[in-house]
Amino acid sequence: MMPPTNTIDMRREPLGSTSNFRRVQTGELLKYPRQVSRDSLRYSEIARSFSVEIRILELLQGHPRIVRYFGQGVGEGDERGIRLAEANQGDLQQYLDEHWEEIPENVRRSWCLQVVESVAYIHSRGVIHSDLRPENFLVHAKETGTLELWLCDFGGSTCKNLELDGRSLPDSGFSDPNSPWESTPQTDIFSVGSILYTILTGHWPYRGRGPFSSLDEKYNYERKADDLFRKRQFPEVDKLFAGDVIMKCWEHAYATAEHLLKDILRHAQDA
C-alpha cells in the first residue's frame, strides 16, 4: 500500500542512499537528491550519482526491462531531479517479503528470466550496473495482471563508452569477496546468482526472510556472507529451478551475460 502523501516511503533505503522520491502524477515519480551541505563529501557523491544515472538512462531507454525515463523535472517544492515511471507494486524485495506465499512458481521463474534479460541488455550497451540486488528491480502489474520487472537505480553504474564510473559495488550476499574492487561484467553476473536464489527461496543467501531488525543484525549478516563466499561455500541449489545456472553465476562460469541468458532460456523452455 502506498503512503497517503505524495512523498514515497522507501522503507528499505540503504543508509548511504542519495535520493528521495515524490509522486508527480499517477504513474510518474520524481527522484531528487537528498539535501546535504555543499561542503560535505556526500554532496559530490550525490551529484556524481545523478549525473551518471541520467546519462545511463538516456542510453538504455526503449527496453521493456528498464524503468522508463521521462527526462529531468522540477517538483512542487522546487526539487530538481529525474522523472521515472512508477511501478505500481513497489520493489522486488518488498514484494517478496510481503507476498511470498502468494507468488506462483511460474511467476518466480518468469522473473528469473526477466532479471537475466535486463542484465544481458545493459551489458550489450556497455553498461555494468554494479549494484544489483532485489531492491533495484521494480514490480509492475500490467492491465492483464501480469507482473513484470524493471531494472532501476543506475547511479552507481559504469560505462566505459561514456567514460562514466558511479564507483559502486554490490552489497554482501550479492558480491564475491574474492574479486577485485572494480566493476566488471562478472560483478553483475555474480549478483544475478544471488538474486535468482532470492526470487526462488524468498530470502538472501544464508539468511531468513524479512528485513533486518537492527544494524547489528545487518553487519553480522555481512560478515557471515562474506566469510562463507570467500571460502566458496554457497547455499544448496540442486532442487531449485535453474539451480545449476545460479551456481555457475557464483562460480564465474559464464564469460558473458549473453551466455547466461542462453542457459536460463533453455531452462525456461524445458519447464
For residue 34, give the CATH number of its domain. Answer: 3.30.200.20
Residue 9 lies in a domain: no
Cα(252)–Cα(247) distance, rounded to whole angstroms?
9
In terms of phi and psi (left: phi > 0; alpha: psi -120 to 50; beta: otherwise), the region of 71 is left
Closest C-alpha to 131, from 140, 119, 149, 114? 119
Residues 181 and 255 in one domain: yes
Cα(85)–Cα(80) distance, rounded to whole angstroms?
16
- pLDDT one-digit tens code per residue, 97-140: 999 999 999 999 999 999 999 999 999 999 999 999 999 999 99
Residue 12 lies in a domain: no
Residues 162 and 218 in one domain: yes
Cα(216)–Cα(226) distance, rounded to whole angstroms?
15
Query: What single string gives the DSSP state of each residue in 212-223?
Result: -SSHHHHHHHHH
Residue 153 lies in a domain: yes
Instruction: Say what the pLDDT of residue 231 is.
Output: 98
Closest C-alpha to 195, from 146, 238, 131, 147? 131
Cα(196)–Cα(64) distance, rounded to whole angstroms?
19
**Stated pTM of the model:** 0.91
Within 10 angstroms of residue 94's Cβ, the number of other Cβ atoms is 18
The residue from 64, 85, 106 where one domain ends is: 85
The domain that holds 110 is classified in CATH as 1.10.510.10
In the chain (271 residues long), the average pLDDT of successive 10-residue segments reads: 35 56 91 79 83 97 97 83 96 96 96 98 98 98 95 97 94 96 96 99 96 94 98 97 98 98 93 68
Instruction: Say what the pLDDT of residue 14 is.
Output: 42
Instruction: Say what the pLDDT of residue 172 is.
Output: 97
Question: Where in the sequence is the domain holding 63, given as residue range(s)?
Answer: 19-85
